[in-house]
Amino acid sequence: MIKIGNIELPDFPLLLAPMEDVSDPPFRRLCKMHGADMMYSEFISSEGLIRDAMKSKKKLDIFDYERPVGIQIFGGDEEAMALSAKIVEAVQPDVVDINFGCPVKKVVCKGAGAGVLKDIDLMIRLTKAVVNSTHLPVTVKTRLGWDNDSINIMEVAERLQETGIKALTIHARTRAQMYKGEADWNYISKVKNNPNIEIPIFGNGDVNTPEKALEYKQKYDCDGIMIGRGAIGYPWIFNEVKHFFETGENLPKPTISQRLEAVRQHAEWSTEWKGEKLGLIEMRQHYGNYFRGIPHFKDFRVKFLEVFTMEEMVEVIAETEEFYAEFSF
């Protein structure tokens, strides 16, 4: 069993990564259904929360069926981070997570996300501000360092642990790499095997198959894996990984019917949460991911993009299923 504060997770849990414009409640619900052990929200601007910005406040929505769930915040100002942690605490998530890993320029330019990797003292002050302002367990997600010449995750992990955080997730790339190149999990292993480290260490980066998940579990000694891009359009990955751990065998890939049912559920929950118009507009980014690698989907993707009501969605799903009934994969 892995513990984050008072939260109990199974041995070697699988976590859904916080991803902007992806990890919203409808998507988290799908991943929970398909085996994710813990969820994280999209990252939320501390400044946005303090300004009562509508978009930031909406991201605070959490539901009991997805617990345990963490809300992730980012920012570069100690007072703003402390205040936002108090706002987050009011909606009663299980965890407050701090983002020190987002490499996107608009975040980094504000001295937040991975931008803090250039100033470790600031990172520690920001973390202390959050830890001291909430009764909830605080966790951190970060990267190896700013670039290959400044990989400092060993020092960072020890100093973050001293602030009182309860777990650390390491994306095994530098900020300079963004999402390119290969993630170097050797550093995750070095952190985990540091005798001074007592908190759970979760690994993140490049896990997109059950085989790779098992290889990384056995090779790098981490306490669990956080899956991000590997789950986009493919929430089945969590149960597939668990089944492979237990049996050494792969579950059958989801059928067309199962993919279409996931799309329908995702769209239905999206419209319930955001309203029909916005919910279906924001679904447009997901269709191609659910059918990645499926032949002849291009024409149907266009039809999905032209859907404006759930009634139309159901019709396109039925038409798609009828077409693919003739195929076997």
Q: Is the CATH number of domain 256-324 1.10.1200?
A: yes
Choice among 31, 102, 109, 222 that is catalytic: 102
> Annotated binding residue at 177?
no
**Identity (one letter) of the amino acid at 291?**
F
> Annotated binding residue at 76?
no
User: Is residue 168 a contact partner of residue 154, using CB atoms and an 8 Å limit?
Assistant: no
User: What is the pTM for the complete model shown?
Assistant: 0.91
> Annotated binding residue at 265?
no
Angle at alpha carbon of residue 238, lines to 235 and 243, rounded to 5°:
130
> Annotated binding residue at 141?
yes
Structure tokens at 315: 């019709």
Pairing type for strands 7-9 and 2-4 reads antiparallel
Alpha carbon distance 243, 246 (integer Å): 5
> Annotated binding residue at 135?
no
Whether 256-324 and 2-247 are alike in CATH topology: the answer is no
Residue 290 has φ and ψ, to the nearest 5°, of: -65, -25
pLDDT in 10s for each residue of the chain, 329 residues: 899 988 999 999 999 999 888 999 999 999 999 999 999 998 888 888 888 766 677 888 899 999 999 999 988 888 989 999 999 999 999 999 998 866 555 565 555 666 777 788 999 999 999 999 999 999 999 988 877 677 889 999 999 999 999 999 999 888 766 667 788 899 999 999 999 999 999 999 989 999 999 999 999 999 999 999 999 999 999 999 999 999 999 999 999 999 999 999 999 999 999 999 999 999 998 988 999 888 888 888 888 898 899 999 999 999 998 888 876 55
Residue entry with tokens 């690994």 = 203
Query: Is 31 designated active site?
Result: no
> What are residue 74's DSSP bridge partners?
45
**Identity (one letter) of the amino acid at 161?**
Q
Domain ranges of the chain: 2-247, 256-324
User: Is residue 72 a contact partner of residue 42, using CB atoms and an 8 Å limit?
Assistant: yes
CATH pick for 2-247 out of 3.40.50.300, 3.20.20.450, 3.30.450.20, 3.20.20.70: 3.20.20.70
